[in-house]
Structure 1
Amino acid sequence: MEWANVDVLDEYLLHVIAAFPRKRKPAFLYAIVTGKRTGQAVQDSHLFDVTRFFGCVPMMRQRYFDARLGQLRDAGWIALDEDGVSLLGVPESGFAERFADLDGFSFQSRTAPFFERLLLAVQVFSNWKHERKRYLPIVRDEETQFVVKQWLGHLLQERTRNEARTAFYRELAMWLQDAKADLYVPRFSGGDYIGKTGLQVAGELDMEPWAYYFEWLDGLHKLLAQLERFPMLQKLLPDATRELTTSAQETLHLLRQGLDTERVMAIRRLKWSTIQDHLVEIAATVPDFSVGAWIDEAAVDGVAQGTWQSLKEIKEAFGELDYFQIRLALIVKRSGAKCN
């Protein structure tokens, strides 16, 4: 298989496969690329520094993923057997360097909702300018419409419509000056203009669809990582807890009510091992979550200084830590969780 015949999705899949030092089952790799926050996926994405590429294609169906692996196998890039997937050779594609701002673990479930809200906000402000009171919202999702309506209501408590629109476009222009504007501007709607789909924009730019998608995603992740510069846009970003599994969200809700883990276990009728998985997921996802009840800063620093291939290696080096503490230590430094 010539590298010229490999598209950007193939590059992404090969990059993820290459990140793990031993064979991995297709089900595990599917969890990584679609962002399924199983205990193993959360743990190993941090252990092998794959968090940036975690969940970059959350919409991918299992059947399509399996077909793409089959194509890579048939083309000679991977071996695929009952033991898992292994690489037969990976050319230097520069995928990680080209998409240096990807941060899938932080934003996988929030990127698309943020962009949908942004599309609707642009349409509303544009129609205010054109004094159009009747139009079909470009985004039909009711939750998106509700959030944007609330957001606009808060803005208008402090500003006039013109002031709000001017401030919004100032932030939008500031972002687009540093972004690849031709990826985003044709998607916006307003007045009589209906924004294009991603596929339409890709065609106009003569880009293959997956190349457009990853450029679009990379640019949005860069924006989301620095939203403190854009206070109006920042309020369109869903809360980080959206990234959690539903079960972990329920555990976090009880913890925030002041209940200890034993009480949470009793209320939810869950084993301690399941609560441990939730705590690791929460610590990896929710900024400023405190893990001080289970591990201290010294242990985190000790684990962070090493390069590890398995939890067993860490256990041999830090015999005083149990595996739950080791899992927490792996994720704390990156996630911003606190040890106090």
Structure 2
Amino acid sequence: MNYFYALILYCIYQFKGERSIKAVQYLLTGKKSTQTLQDAVWYSLQHLYSVYPEMDADAFIDTVKKLEKTGSIVISDKTVTLTDSGKKVLSELMSGYPIPDHLNGWQFHKIEQLFWQRLTLLIQILTNWAYSETKFIPVVRDYPIQNWVKRWLGEKRQIYNKKQLSLRLYHELFTIFEICEQNRENPDYIVARFTGYQKPGYTSTQIAKQAAVDETYYLLAFRSCLHFMIKTIWHERGEFPILSSLLADRKSPWTLTSSSWETYKFLKYGKNVEEIAKFRKLKKSTIEDHIVEIALLDPAFSIKTYVKPETQKRITEAVNLLHTRKLKTIKDYLTDIDYFSIRLVLSKMNDKKDV
């Protein structure tokens, strides 16, 4: 099984022949652009946004060439299309190994690594402490992470001794892993990577080989379990005081770019697009891009101020009638409605389909 094929084919399937092969690469590696963010939401691919940041560009190109050579996809100047043969290959690959249930790159890609590095370093420290070992090579070389964990331990040591802290973390991990199993996630994929006292964690290649699964699939399954853990801990802080404290400095799982955040501040003060553009000395279209990004990332953000309900209804009906997310096609059909309104409505629509 080559799950990398399935991942690429699935994205192409969702794009419905309306995006380029580069759009697939940008989506999976998490390119931070308005276009890629739009693609993720408009084509119901939020769960796969930035789920493969370690993707090798050359491997991606080689795989695409193989898929094109075997007739699974057809590439034109600006778009890539899935053929009937490609749909069959995708269906076969997905039937045995569907995309993991709780994968949510859109919501957690910015905090998954932070949480994982803090957790895995903490486990290494506590397991070494259990054997009275204080000298070891840290599994995480990132100094800000090391310093954060050091400060965290200093704070917790005012409340718990070493043994109490280790036991509390153990019990929380045991509980969360039980919940993972109950929700069809495999915590073994997480545990196998932990580094402990005189015991290095396994690599993704080693774990995939031991589990007899494709490495790409393992990486997705690992992230799915990690995302589920973060989500559960986030919403059940009282049940997981130690684990949730590893994310205490993160107030929200979604984050805007700095420029869009500045625009958002003005919007909260009741300023309109023109006023913000004038004050920030930016083009009106740039402020509109920021508002689209806010609509994409903040589920609580209402677009009623910018698009009347009746206009929203017309755009939604047009999208469903035309079966497309291509802006120009929709604009040609709704000549009296501007691109900004169309983009905002698309940003709040979701039509995820099963293969």
TM-score interval (norm. to shorter): 0.7 to 0.9
Structure 1 CA distance for aligned equivalents of residues 232 and 316 of structure 2: 25
Partner AA of 1:217 in structure 2 = R
Choose from 304, 309, 323 the match for 2:339. 323
Partner AA of 2:8 in structure 1 = L
1:30 aligns with 2:36: no
Structure 2 CA distance for aligned equivalents of residues 322 and 153 of structure 1: 56
- What displacement does 1:130 show? 2.4
Pick which of 265-274 and 186-195 moved more: 265-274
Q: Do the aligned partners of residues 124 and 74 (structure 1) sit closer, same or farther apart at CA in structure 2, a change above 3 Å counting?
A: same
Structure 2 portions without partners, runs of 5+: 351-355
More RCO (CA 8 Å, sep 6+): 2
1:146 aligns with 2:147: yes
Partner AA of 1:219 in structure 2 = C
Matching of residues 29-68 of structure 1 within 5 Å: 29-68=24-63
Structure 1 CA distance for aligned equivalents of residues 28 and 107 of structure 2: 14
- What displacement does 1:13 show? 0.4
What is aligned with 2:353?
none
Structure 2 CA distance for aligned equivalents of residues 79 and 212 of structure 1: 28
Are the aligned partners of 1:254 and 1:264 in contact in 2 as well (CA < 8 Å)?
yes
Are the aligned partners of 1:32 and 1:54 in contact in 2 as well (CA < 8 Å)?
yes
Deviations 1:111-157 (A, max 9, x none): 22321221112112222322322222111011222332333344345
1:200 aligns with 2:200: no
For residue 192 of structure 2, give the secondary structure of its aligned residue in structure 1: helix
Partner AA of 1:70 in structure 2 = K
What is aligned with 2:292?
280
What is aligned with 2:2?
7
Pick which of 289-298 and 204-213 moved more: 289-298
Are the aligned partners of 2:20 and 2:79 in contact in 1 as well (CA < 8 Å)?
yes
- What displacement does 1:260 show? 6.6
Partner AA of 2:244 in structure 1 = Q
Deviations 1:188-245 (A, max 9, x none): 1222222222222222323332122122122122222322233432343456577544
Structure 2 CA distance for aligned equivalents of residues 262 and 232 of structure 1: 46
Deviations 1:242-290 (A, max 9, x none): 7544544565577679977556535654322222222222332246456
Partner AA of 1:94 in structure 2 = M
Pick which of 311-320 and 57-66 moved more: 311-320
Partner AA of 2:223 in structure 1 = L
Structure 2 CA distance for aligned equivalents of residues 127 and 297 of structure 1: 60
What is aligned with 2:79?
84
Deviations 1:6-50 (A, max 9, x none): 511110100000012224222222222222232222223222212
For residue 226 of structure 1, give the secondary structure of its aligned residue in structure 2: helix
Q: Do the aligned partners of residues 132 and 296 (structure 1) sit closer, same or farther apart at CA in structure 2, a change above 3 Å counting?
A: farther
Partner AA of 2:100 in structure 1 = F
Partner AA of 2:145 in structure 1 = T
Equivalent pairs counted in the alignment come to 329
What is aligned with 2:120?
119
- What displacement does 1:61 show? 4.1
Deviations 1:292-332 (A, max 9, x none): 65457787688678745235676689888643344333334
Are the aligned partners of 2:107 and 2:254 in contact in 1 as well (CA < 8 Å)?
no
Are the aligned partners of 2:190 and 2:226 in contact in 1 as well (CA < 8 Å)?
no
Aligned-residue Cα RMSD (Å) equals: 3.4
Partner AA of 1:109 in structure 2 = K
Structure 2 CA distance for aligned equivalents of residues 249 and 103 of structure 1: 22
Are the aligned partners of 2:260 and 2:294 in contact in 1 as well (CA < 8 Å)?
yes
Are the aligned partners of 1:45 and 1:54 in contact in 2 as well (CA < 8 Å)?
yes
Structure 1 CA distance for aligned equivalents of residues 164 and 188 of structure 2: 26
Choose from 203, 227, 247 the match for 1:221. 227
What is aligned with 2:94?
94
Q: Do the aligned partners of residues 323 and 118 (structure 1) sit closer, same or farther apart at CA in structure 2, a change above 3 Å counting?
A: same
Structure 2 CA distance for aligned equivalents of residues 160 and 298 of structure 1: 62
Structure 1 CA distance for aligned equivalents of residues 118 and 298 of structure 2: 22
Deviations 1:146-198 (A, max 9, x none): 33233334434544443332222222111222241321212112222222222
Q: Do the aligned partners of residues 312 and 65 (structure 1) sit closer, same or farther apart at CA in structure 2, a change above 3 Å counting?
A: same
Are the aligned partners of 1:240 and 1:286 in contact in 2 as well (CA < 8 Å)?
no
Q: Do the aligned partners of residues 44 and 207 (structure 1) sit closer, same or farther apart at CA in structure 2, a change above 3 Å counting?
A: closer
Matching of residues 237-252 of structure 1 within 5 Å: 237=247, 240=252, 243-245=255-257, 247-249=259-261, 251-252=263-264
